[in-house]
């Protein structure tokens, strides 16, 4: 019998207990030995709940119990998760986590401690919810050189943008619904400002490129500035707006960013709707590999955590090697990338057409009935730095969004 402990009995923690209870027979068959949740740590009490009798408030009870071989950390946030996880690894326990803040901030250090102690620090659920993507990058795709990762990595924002475009909902209504459904982080700022997707692309890029991608260096924009008028303009272009996270290597230079993009209906990411995530991994020889599935939610995320518990249980006392050096990868600024932009301009097209053409030459003009006092343009591909100089010369520019599919990558 392998005893485990769960730190945190929130959405994912309760999902972990539920999945283990529900699937104990098949899990036991797959490990070859039974697992049992010996403790659940939470500050709160849960009278009448299934975990009432195994609930502890003192982390040291778990740390000091040698019977506990695997600890599941699903508290979220960096502290006290980091302190608890580090202590568990140093005490010879393996740790499985869904906590992307923890992994993005301290991943390489915790992997190193696990390696030195012959145990494991596993974090499949930290990116893409139920989608297996960490393990494939660490094993199935290791024969090739990964050149690019691009995808929709945040279920909450994808759900919000989908509802805004299919239901005509305003941003706030869609956000409340996402929170109600348990997709959003405790602090929704992490989702809607792109911070969650930023940590996830930093994790995937670190694993793909082998060196640490410091998430604080990743250019990050969220979706709070997207309006229903932008959604209408996108629809007029047979496109949708998606929050994309990407990183790529070109001529020995590495780029990473998170930002909303206008994605055409012919692009595979256009069809990724609701809480679903999708991730493209491009390799030199494998071409594109795409991963798709539920990117958030209690049970999908819990299943990914429990799958890590199964792996940890199958590798007790044996480290599964993960290549993630503590040395930082140098990222090149996104101002050097070339792409087209959708730009909104307040004012009459007739009055501003010459100014627009003077800056960008041959642009595409779009007018929609929902924006009677303005219009939009799509620029030809242009270096981002020079794009910003050009729009400063056009009166009435209110906002812009990058167009997917025109990047130099």
Q: Which of 120, 156, 246, 294 binds ligand HSE (CB under 6 A)?
A: 156
In angstroms, the CA 1 to CA 184 distance is: 35
In angstroms, the CA 277 to CA 151 distance is: 7
Give, as one character, the DSSP assignment of residue 217: G
In angstroms, the CA 319 to CA 314 distance is: 11
Cα–Cα distance list, 102 to 26, 123, 207, 301 (Å): 30, 10, 15, 16
Pick between residue 103 and residue 356 the one whose CB is nearest to ligand HSE.
103
In angstroms, the CA 10 to CA 44 distance is: 10
154 sits near ligand HSE (criterion: CB under 6 A)? yes
Task: Kindly name the residue from 150, 200, 282, 298 that is annotated as catalytic.
Answer: 200
Pick between residue 5 and residue 275 the one whose CB is nearest to ligand HSE.
275
129 sits near ligand HSE (criterion: CB under 6 A)? yes
Closest-by-Cβ residue to ligand HSE is 156
Is the Cβ–Cβ distance between 61 and 87 less than 8 Å?
A: no
Pick between residue 274 and residue 374 the one whose CB is nearest to ligand HSE.
274
Q: For the segment 289-318, give every residue that binds ligand HSE (CB under 6 A).
A: 295-296
155 sits near ligand HSE (criterion: CB under 6 A)? yes
In angstroms, the CA 78 to CA 187 distance is: 14
193 sits near ligand HSE (criterion: CB under 6 A)? no
Q: Tell me if residue 200 is catalytic.
A: yes
Closest approach of ligand HSE to the CB of residue 155, in Å: 4
Contacts of 330 (CB under 8 A, 6+ apart): 254
Alpha carbons within 13 angstroms on the beta-carbon side of residue 329 total 29
Pick between residue 186 and residue 388 the one whose CB is nearest to ligand HSE.
186
In angstroms, the CA 6 to CA 168 distance is: 40
Closest approach of ligand HSE to the CB of residue 213, in Å: 18
Closest approach of ligand HSE to the CB of residue 95, in Å: 18
Q: Which stretch binds ligand HSE (CB under 6 A): 35-43, 180-188, 239-247, 382-390?
A: 180-188
Q: Which of 40, 130, 134, 184 binds ligand HSE (CB under 6 A)?
A: 184
Tokens standing for residue 387: 């794009």
Q: Which of 73, 196, 230, 359 binds ligand HSE (CB under 6 A)?
A: 196
274 sits near ligand HSE (criterion: CB under 6 A)? no
Is the Cβ–Cβ distance between 96 and 312 less than 8 Å?
A: yes
Active site residues: 200
Q: Which residues of this chain interact with ligand HSE, rule CB under 6 A? A: 129, 154-156, 183-185, 191, 196, 295-296
């Amino acid at each position: 019998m392998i005893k485990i402990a769960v730190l945190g009995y929130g959405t994912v923690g309760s999902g972990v207990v539920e999945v283990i209870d529900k699937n104990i027979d098949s899990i036991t068959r797959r490990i070859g030995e039974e697992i049992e949740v010996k403790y659940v740590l939470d500050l709160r009490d849960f009278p009448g709940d299934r975990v009432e009798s195994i609930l502890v408030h003192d982390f040291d009870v778990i740390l000091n119990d040698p019977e506990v071989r695997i600890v599941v950390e699903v508290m979220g946030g960096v502290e006290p998760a980091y302190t608890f996880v580090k202590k568990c690894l140093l005490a010879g326990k393996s740790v499985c986590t869904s906590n992307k803040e923890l992994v993005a901030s301290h991943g390489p250090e915790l992997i190193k401690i696990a390696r030195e102690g012959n145990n494991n620090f596993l974090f499949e659920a930290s990116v893409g919810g139920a989608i297996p993507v960490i393990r494939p990058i660490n094993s199935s795709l290791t024969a090739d050189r990964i050149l690019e990762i691009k995808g929709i990595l945040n279920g909450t924002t994808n759900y919000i943008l989908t509802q805004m475009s299919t239901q005509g909902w305003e941003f706030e209504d869609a956000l409340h619904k996402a929170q109600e459904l348990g997709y959003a982080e405790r602090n929704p700022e992490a989702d809607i400002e792109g911070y969650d997707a930023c940590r996830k692309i930093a994790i995937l890029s670190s694993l793909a490129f082998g060196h640490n991608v410091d998430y604080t260096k990743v250019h990050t924009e969220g979706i709070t500035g997207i309006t229903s008028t932008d959604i209408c303009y996108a629809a007029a272009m047979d496109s949708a707006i998606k929050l994309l996270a990407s990183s790529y290597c070109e001529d020995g230079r590495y780029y990473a960013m998170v930002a909303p993009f206008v994605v055409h209906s012919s692009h595979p990411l256009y069809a990724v709707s609701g809480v679903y995530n999708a991730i493209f991994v491009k390799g030199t020889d494998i071409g594109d590999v795409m991963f798709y599935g539920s990117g958030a939610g209690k049970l999908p995320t819990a299943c990914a955590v429990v799958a890590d518990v199964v792996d940890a249980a199958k590798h007790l006392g044996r480290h599964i090697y993960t290549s993630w050096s503590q040395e930082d990868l140098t990222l090149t600024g996104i101002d050097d990338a070339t792409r087209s932009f959708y730009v909104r301009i307040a004012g009459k097209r007739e009055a501003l057409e010459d100014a627009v053409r003077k800056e960008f030459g041959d642009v595409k003009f779009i007018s929609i009935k929902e924006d009677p006092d303005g219009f939009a343009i799509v620029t030809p591909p242009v270096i981002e730095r020079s794009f910003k100089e050009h729009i400063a010369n056009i009166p009435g520019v209110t906002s812009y969004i990058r167009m997917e599919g025109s990047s130099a990558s």
